[in-house]
């Protein structure tokens, strides 16, 4: 059974902008998927829909074969099924201090305090920000806040992990650390969906690329097929990957 299946999804913001136009897709367990497309093409809107933050005006969304339900009880249950790290950490980070923020979702899940503390320490360490544990969130840089949001989502150990432009704002060391974390998640059989503008990362890492244009899913293809087709790359408006440009 596929963890995610969307059929003919449409979504229009209250302002009248149609952000998702008849989107249908299937994502399989353990797949490494990237979401690409120009600014404003609908990537974050698709993530918001998958996370249940916005509700489609039409179409169906199935997660693990069950129709998605838009109620608090279902959403709480979903914490261990699907985790979403927002593009903008200022939208996601809700507590005043780093340790409190990473603990937030775990406490909502009803875990006992010793287990919460254990997971907070484990995931601060994994994301390389143990030294920020007692800091006020407001004193952090944007990149540091992104890492706090990442630690908070990973600590809930969801099966499907969605990261919206996770490399934006990260320095070289933190980018390398994130790549290593992604490998660990893959080894644990997680399904990963990542949005990025970095074609080199896509070509090295992903199994499948989804490409959005003006709210429409214009490609759903293997990354190999994508980067070996120059016409498609030009049509989709994405950058070619270096290793495919030198005759590989």
Ligand X SMILES: Nc1ncnc2c1ncn2[C@@H]1O[C@H](COP(=O)(O)OP(=O)(O)OP(=O)(O)O)[C@@H](O)[C@H]1O
Task: Note the residues at the interface with ligand X (CB under 6 A).
Answer: 13, 15, 17, 19, 37, 39-45, 87
13 binds, among ligand X, Mg ion, none (CB under 5 to 8 A by kind): ligand X
Query: 160-164 and 82-85 as β-strands: parallel, antiparallel, unpaired?
Result: parallel
Indicate the residue among 44 and 174 with the shorter CB distance to ligand X: 44
Report d(CA 2, CA 208) in Å as an integer.
Answer: 15
User: Closest distance between Mg ion and the C-beta of residue 210, in Å?
Assistant: 13
Report d(CA 104, CA 6) in Å as an integer.
Answer: 29
User: Closest distance between ligand X and the C-beta of residue 157, in Å?
Assistant: 26
Pick from 6, 27, 56, 87 the residue near Mg ion by CB under 5 A.
87
Report d(CA 39, CA 90) in Å as an integer.
Answer: 19
Half-sphere CA count of 78, side-chain side, radius 13 A = 23
Report d(CA 224, CA 202) in Å as an integer.
Answer: 10
39 binds, among Mg ion, ligand X, none (CB under 5 to 8 A by kind): ligand X
Indicate the residue among 132 and 198 with the shorter CB distance to ligand X: 198
How many residues touch Mg ion under the rule CB under 5 A: the total is 3
User: Closest distance between Mg ion and the C-beta of residue 109, in Å?
Assistant: 27
Indicate the residue among 191 and 196 with the shorter CB distance to Mg ion: 196
**Taking Cα atoms as reference points, which of 154, 48, 50 lies closest to residue 101?**
154
182 binds, among ligand X, Mg ion, none (CB under 5 to 8 A by kind): none
44 binds Mg ion (CB under 5 A): yes
Task: Enter the tokens of residue 166.
Answer: 């996770």
Site for Mg ion in 187-246 (CB under 5 A): none
User: Closest distance between ligand X and the C-beta of residue 61, in Å?
Assistant: 16
**152 burial level (CB within 10 Å; 0-12, 13-18, 19+):** buried
User: Closest distance between ligand X and the C-beta of residue 220, in Å?
Assistant: 16
CA angle 186, 35, 76 (to 5 degrees): 65
Task: Enter the tokens of residue 168.
Answer: 């934006």
User: Closest distance between ligand X and the C-beta of residue 112, in Å?
Assistant: 37
15 binds, among Mg ion, ligand X, none (CB under 5 to 8 A by kind): ligand X
Torsion of CA 198, 164, 62, 202, to 10 degrees: 10
Indicate the residue among 101 and 164 with the shorter CB distance to Mg ion: 164
Helix or strand holding residue 236 (H, E):
helix 230-236
């Amino acid at each position: 059974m596929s963890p995610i299946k969307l059929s003919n999804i449409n979504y229009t913001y209250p302002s009248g902008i149609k952000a998702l136009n008849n989107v249908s897709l299937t994502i399989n367990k353990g797949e490494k998927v990237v979401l690409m497309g120009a600014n404003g093409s609908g990537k974050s809107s698709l993530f918001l829909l998958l996370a249940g933050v916005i509700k489609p005006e039409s179409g169906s969304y199935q997660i693990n074969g069950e129709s998605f339900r838009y109620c608090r009880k279902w959403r709480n249950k979903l914490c261990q099924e699907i985790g979403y790290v927002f593009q903008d950490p200022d939208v996601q980070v809700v507590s005043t201090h780093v340790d409190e923020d990473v603990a937030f979702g775990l406490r909502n899940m009803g875990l006992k305090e010793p287990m919460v503390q254990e997971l907070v320490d484990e995931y601060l360490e994994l994301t390389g920000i143990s030294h920020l544990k007692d800091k006020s969130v407001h004193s952090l840089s944007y990149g540091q806040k992104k890492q706090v949001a990442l630690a908070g989502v990973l600590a809930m150990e969801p099966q499907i992990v969605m990261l919206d432009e996770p490399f934006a704002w990260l320095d070289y060391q933190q980018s390398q650390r994130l790549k290593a974390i992604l490998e660990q998640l893959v080894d644990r059989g997680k399904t990963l969906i990542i949005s990025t503008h970095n074609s080199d990362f896509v070509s090295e890492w992903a199994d499948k690329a989804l490409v959005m244009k003006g709210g429409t899913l214009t490609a759903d293809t293997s990354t190999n097929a994508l980067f070996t087709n120059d016409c498609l790359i030009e049509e989709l408006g994405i950058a070619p990957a270096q290793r495919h440009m030198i005759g590989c």
